[in-house]
Amino acid sequence: MGMDALNFWQMLSSQEPGICWLWLGARDPRGYGRVRWQGKARLAHRVAYELTHGQAADCVCHRCDTPPCCNPEHLFDGTRADNNRDMTAKGRHGAVVSPGYTLRGEEHQRAKLTQAIAERIRAVYVLGGVTQRALARKHGVSQRTVAKLLNRVSYVVDSEAEKVRLGISD
Ligand SMILES: [Zn+2]
């Protein structure tokens, strides 16, 4: 029996924004989480990155230097790190986070979900097998809120980031 996306996120110590989400399953000698994912032995933080971004990265690095951490906000594509840092400094790339991060989308008044959770809901929904209603119940928001974020009416951070996530080169 394979693990699905919902089960995956439940294997973490926490899903609170701003702190490390530690993998509770097996770990490798370096401390990285290990997971059997779609029939393959994988590193948990890499799976977390893929679920969040919709694509793999050559090198998924931890901002927090905590190998078992799978908080997508603490993970970044190391091959693009310099570029990302630069964009963060310029403040025009809300999806990229760093220690002490802010996500502009969720700062907006009375946001019910963090941007990271909104992204995760999209990632989970894309994989199928779960209804908008179930996702709404799980996260304590209305189905309308889920529908809006899935339709990218809300919780849209940055059109450039969106293109990257969707694999649109231009
Ligand atoms: Zn962390």
Question: What is the Cα–Cα distance from 125 to 53, expressed in whole angstroms?
Answer: 13
Quote the domain boundaries for residue 125. Answer: 105-166
CATH of the domain at 155: 1.10.10
CA of 138 to the centre of ligand 1 (A): 23
pTM above 0.75, yes or no: no
Same domain, 84 and 132: no
Angle at 118 between CA 115 and CA 119, to 5 degrees: 85
CA of 144 to the centre of ligand 1 (A): 31
CA of 11 to the centre of ligand 1 (A): 15
- Beta-carbon contacts of 111 under 8 Å, excluding residues fewer than 6 positions away, are 105, 155
pLDDT in tens, 22-66: 999 999 999 999 999 999 999 999 999 999 999 998 899 999 999
CATH of the domain at 86: 3.90.75
Same domain, 97 and 113: no
Going through 57-145 in order, the beta strands assigned E by DSSP cover 60-62, 75-77
| Residue that finishes a domain, picked among 86, 102, 118 | 102
Per-residue pLDDT for the chain (170 aa), expressed as one digit of tens each?
A: 467 888 999 999 999 999 999 999 999 999 999 999 999 999 999 999 999 999 998 899 999 999 999 999 999 998 765 544 544 444 434 444 443 333 444 443 345 777 788 888 888 888 877 888 888 888 888 888 888 888 877 777 655 555 565 665 54
